[in-house]
Amino acid sequence: MRKTWILRLALTGLLAFASAALASQPSAEAPELAPTQVYTDIARAGSRFIAVGERGAIRVSDDNGESWKVVDSAVDVMLTAVVFASEREAWAVGHGAVLLHSDDAGSSWQKVSLDGVVEPDQVFIDIAFGKEGEGYVIGPDEWVLATQDGGKTWAREMFGASPYYPDMSSVAVLDSGHVLITYGGLEILRKAPGDTTWQTQEVRGGSIFGVMGLGGRQAMVFGEYGVVLESSDAGETWVEVKSASRGAYFAGLKLADGEVVLVGAEGIIARRAVGADVFLPEVPIPVAALTSVAEGEGGRLVLTGAQGVGYQQDGAFYFDGAGPDGYSGQLVARSLLYRTELPKVLQLVAKRSSRYSPAGDDWAVEWVEVALRAGSSDADVLTPEVFNDLGKFYGRVAASPELERSNVRSLWDPETYSYLMLHGPYGDLTSVPVVHEKPDYDDAERPYLEQRIARAGLLGNVISSDFETVNAFVDIPGYATAEGDNTRRATVLSALKSLGVEAGRNEHSYKVAAVELARLESADLAQSHDETATPDVEYVYVISTASSDSSSCGRTEDALVLADELAGYLATRKIPGPALAVSDLAKLNRIVRHRGNWKWYSTDDFDDYGGSVYGYWEVDYCVNPLVVVFGKHGAGDQQDHLKEMLEQFGKAGELELSTFRVTRTAL
């Protein structure tokens, strides 16, 4: 019997909760959040830094980015940009027509009413202020809001521009008073001081994502494929600037010493030294996209991006709240996608939910985990000799006749372990194998291999964070589980045992660390489990909508918003372990459709629910389950603890909590 618990509450409660949250007055400080959020922009005035991002997140730092305090924004949508209009006055914008104002340097925020001016579903992408109270807010569909009185009143500006590129991506007010807007990816809007009309210029070389002033009438725009253009006449003419990187640039900054820094997709950081004519990328770089940069004290770059908030100092990176594997922000979700338990538990949920499945729910899924390490203490699994030998070993595992119908997954399998680059031509996903098809690796390749492993989210899962061990996974076919064909199961296990013995021979550069049989099955409330006798036990918790009948499916967008609300709620509680929501996958699809621009990492609009999410996560045409929680090793069964939290959440309509147990036995 599976262990199940049902919450029955009205869905209208969730809607009322969301409305109340938007209307509530901001408190001075919000609860600390788990480090799983994406941050999109950062601003500095004096010693105060403000960072904004996902789910209305606002953080402030007064110690050069060393520590961050969470400030309540009173909204729960993606915030896309923040700016200081003066030392004390700050503004932020985001999805859902959100415009926020602070008069105490970001310590508290008030939502500015734009009723009658903007539709409530309008997305704001950027904001900029100039001298004497002039400010602009931009967004998709040719939206420009302007103020001339420091934000007391706002009005929409109308202009004629290309109908082919309606989305605006950034705005800057130069020291000279000129206003520049990057428009439609391939166009730049320009307005001179005192003018009431805008001029349109088309640019070549790739979509433009950002614009910034460099002092006086100087300006720079940057974007896709490493394109950088510079103007010395307030945008009237542009010249191309060389860039050694072809990655997309999302944000930039002119440092106090005159050097210019650009940051962007795949963690790229490029600098143009004073007097130089080319941007050169730095090494090393962080493992995920950077969305903004500010200058701290002592040459420090304070950063926001897919890893959250952090900083660079002396070539090293420190991101707030990073775990032992170094992951924070969106990388936490990415790493959970490669947890081997995830597809297994979804497989069981799908099988049980199918209307064509036989009665009963005592199915189990089994697989074998093979862990190997270097044979000597002065090497690890990425040492070239060891790494190349391991690749050959796993090749023999995959080709074993006894495992003919078993699925073998290892680091050397490009179909299973590929790094998905979110930025590519037209926003398409680009699949980059973690291990390229080449006969041998050498020391020169190692830094790039480490980067691909980290970006793919494999640290602490497929490969240990210190590169001491690497795992492969061999599935036991469903017909050969303990409840099925015992003869076939014994053959598979015997073959894996013999491979483990063969790998332990002294002439190899590697040795077996462990060979374990893993079994995932539904836990049973009525059946006690002796965890003392079998100490290597973990739990996986699945929070689903109670019904997977396709005839009763609600709107996909509603289910995804609910999943995101639930994930945000759980992030503020001491849950049994890390959680992955179906909405995390949907957000990544949305980024792809906007050419890798992370300001579209939406938490309030899931109309771009893509096919890859549908095929991976859905059960019987419903978005079900909503969230998977991975219990911490050795924590025991925490179902009652999680059940208590869900009762307090109380906004989900009808939720089902199922608990699954994973046991591992050494072979």
Please report, as a single letter, which amino acid is at residue 260: V
For the stretch 122-145, what's the b/e string if a residue is b when 16 or more beta carbons lie within 10 angstroms of its beta carbon? bbbbbbbbbeeebbbbbbeebbbb
Structural element, H or E, at residue 242: strand 242-243
More confident residue, 442 or 593: 442
* Token pair of 193 as six digits: 């001081």
Please report, as a single letter, which amino acid is at residue 463: I
Pairing of strands 69-71, 58-61: antiparallel
Q: How many CB atoms lie within 10 A of CB 609?
A: 21
Q: What is the rounded radius of gyration, in angstroms, for the C-alpha atoms of the chain?
A: 26
Q: Which alpha helices (H) appear in 400-543, and where do they start and end?
A: 446-455, 486-503
Over residues 178-233, the pLDDT tens digits come to 999 997 667 899 999 988 888 888 887 778 899 999 999 999 999 988 999 999 99
- For residue 89, is pLDDT > 80? yes
Q: CA nearest 510: which of 623, 630, 370?
A: 370
Model pLDDT, residue 4: 39
If you average pLDDT over each of 189-203, 296-310, 502-516, which comes out highest? Answer: 296-310
- For residue 73, is pLDDT > 70? yes
Structural element, H or E, at residue 566: helix 556-571
* Token pair of 5 as six digits: 């618990």
CA distance 102 to 30: 16
More confident residue, 546 or 585: 585
Nearest-10 crossing angle of helices 384-399, 486-503: 160
- For residue 10, is pLDDT > 50? no
Over residues 620-654, the pLDDT tens digits come to 677 888 999 999 888 888 999 998 889 888 765 67
CA distance 293 to 23: 31
Over residues 582-621, the pLDDT tens digits come to 998 888 878 877 778 899 888 777 876 776 677 778 776 7
Tell me the average pLDDT of the chain: 83
Model pLDDT, residue 398: 83
For the stretch 1-16, what's the b/e string if a residue is b when 16 or more beta carbons lie within 10 angstroms of its beta carbon? ebbbbebebeeeebee
Q: CA nearest 79: which of 107, 111, 104?
A: 111
Model pLDDT, residue 526: 37
Model pLDDT, residue 216: 96
* Residue given tokens 């996903």 in the structure block: 429
Report yes or no: 99 and 117 within 8 Å, Cβ to Cβ: no
Report yes or no: 298 and 256 within 8 Å, Cβ to Cβ: no
CA distance 146 to 156: 6
| SS3 state at 3 | strand
Peptide bond into 284 cis (omega under 30): yes
Over residues 376-386, the pLDDT tens digits come to 999 999 999 99
Cα–chain center distance at 66: 22
| Residue 620, φ and ψ in degrees, nearest 5 | 55, 45
DSSP codes of every residue in 371-423: EEEESSTT--TTSHHHHHHHHHHHHHHHH-GGGTTS-EE-TT-TTTSEEEES-
Report yes or no: 366 and 476 within 8 Å, Cβ to Cβ: yes
CA distance 257 to 259: 6
At 22, is the pLDDT very low, low, confident or very high (cuts 50, 70, 90)? very low
* Token pair of 555 as six digits: 């709107």
Q: Count Cα neighbours of 592 within 13 Å in the Cβ-side half-sphere.
A: 18
Peptide bond into 343 cis (omega under 30): no
Mean pLDDT throughout 57-71? 95
Mean pLDDT throughout 323-349? 88
pTM of the predicted structure, to 2 decimals:
0.87
CA distance 508 to 310: 42
Mean pLDDT throughout 390-418? 83
At 503, is the pLDDT very low, low, confident or very high (cuts 50, 70, 90)? low
CA dihedral (152, 155, 161, 164) in degrees, to 10, reads 90
CA distance 385 to 446: 12
Over residues 230-258, the pLDDT tens digits come to 999 999 999 999 999 888 899 999 999 99
